[in-house]
Amino acid sequence: MKFKRSITGIISMVFIVFAWHAPAQVKKKGAVKRKAPASVAKVVPPPAPPFAAAPELEEGKTLISKSDCLACHKIDDKLVGPPYSAIAGKYPQNQSSVDELSQKVIKGGSGVWGPIPMAPHPAIALADANKMVKYILTLNPKNLPVSSK
């Protein structure tokens, strides 16, 4: 008899313990299954500003056509110097490239495209050289704008 009472008491205690923990387990499972509210919006960065405005690019194209640049360069074919499309493919569309290439237009340069140096053009204003270079850098469709540092 004592044995039956002990077993009944133990079973009762086990039942009470399980019943007491069951609501806590349900709450934990419910917390895990909750989804994030649908009202949370994804953060999308604003689009990058255009590399250069269309009028500036058109002016760069016009400045090139009026200069002696076309004596050594073509858009897709190599003459004395590299084609503009190759230059556009080598340099990213950012202000750093514009500054570097504008200085090469004005001061001349050598060694990047082979042994033939590029003649300096000191009469070209820096602002005009910038427009010309920006136009050149847009001639390669694979060359996407990169934000400047």
List pLDDT tens digits, range 119-149.
999 999 999 999 999 999 998 766 555 544 4
List pLDDT tens digits, range 18-52.
555 555 555 555 555 566 555 555 666 555 567 78
Upper half-sphere CA count for residue 143 (Cβ side, 13 Å): 20
C-alpha triplet 77, 112, 128: angle, nearest 5°: 70
List pLDDT tens digits, range 60-86.
999 999 999 999 999 999 999 999 999
What region, left, alpha or beta, does residue 145 occupy, with left being phi > 0 and alpha being psi -120 to 50 degrees?
beta
List pLDDT tens digits, range 104-123.
999 998 888 889 999 999 99
